[in-house]
Amino acid sequence: MVLPCHIGDYTDFYSSIWHATNVGRLFRSEEEALKPNWLHLPVGYHGRASSVVVSGTDVHRPMGQKMPRGATSPVWGECGLLDFEVEVGAFFGGKPNEMGERITIDQAPNHIFGIVILNDWSARDIQKWEYVPLGPFNGKNFASTISPWIITMDALDNFKTDIIPQNQKGKVPLPYLRSDDLTSYDINLSVSLTTDKGTTAVLGETNTSNLYWTFTQQLTHHSSGGCPMKPGDLLGSGTISGQTTKSFGSMLELCSYSQDYKEKKAWAFPYTLEDGSTRKCIQDGDTITMQGYCKKGDLYLGFGGCTGLVLPPKPVAKI
């Protein structure tokens, strides 16, 4: 299998309200879990298209700069908190907009060609130290894995579903992000971990209906400043999580909340596998597999798999 198209640019959003809330609760108060802008616009960052790889490609643990707990100066070393993120990615299609032109919310559906499963690998300890004040950088740019099949939006028409109400918590988006035709999709997603000993555990099951911001709103906001979009550009949804521990889309959430969801502390609750081993992050030799499907009556639509085996860091490049 190969990449389904040439990816010119890659942007990753942060569009699941439950994931954003879960992470916000860990590092801020309950009242400040969501940043003030979150309910007004689809938050995102520009990723690295050169490290988007197809399912089945091995992922080498990244090296980076970290600030150990209690230390007064950073250290250099391999990532110690490697994580996955369950996402979907939308591919831009159709006629590109010129620089300075905007794509409206009504035009956006004609420019979303199809969807893939996306694993936005994350080096949490590297990310934590570097992301202030400009956001993710080396903690995110080392690898992003996508499934090899682009499922077209035409194929997904039968699986449309209602979106989370846009007036949730009393916030209504600005007019350029409003439309009477906003829709979500009933895509079931799962993530599993397989150890080098062959033990497999399903870590979480979620659904794209947990996205607060739609694909069309993400694209509309992306182009709202006049950013030119081109066929093959990839827009990641951001981690998709539900409201329970069984529907989390990242190890950060899975290992930071107790099973009854009453206690929370970052990385304080390691996940126990059937063989008795535990994980609070992904280890070398672990394989992460994501799968997706839609089902409605006799209709069934599969997305294929999105897998990656984690290996130790590579040596310094010989250039």
Active site residues: 19
CB-based contact 19:211 (threshold 8 Å): no
10 Å CB burial of residue 170 (0-12, 13-18, 19+) is exposed
273/259 Cα distance (integer angstroms): 14
* Terminal Cα-to-Cα distance of the chain (whole angstroms): 28
Q: Which two tokens stand for residue 270?
A: 């390691």
Residue pointed to by tokens 């399903």: 202
* Contact of 151 with 114, CB cutoff 8 Å: yes
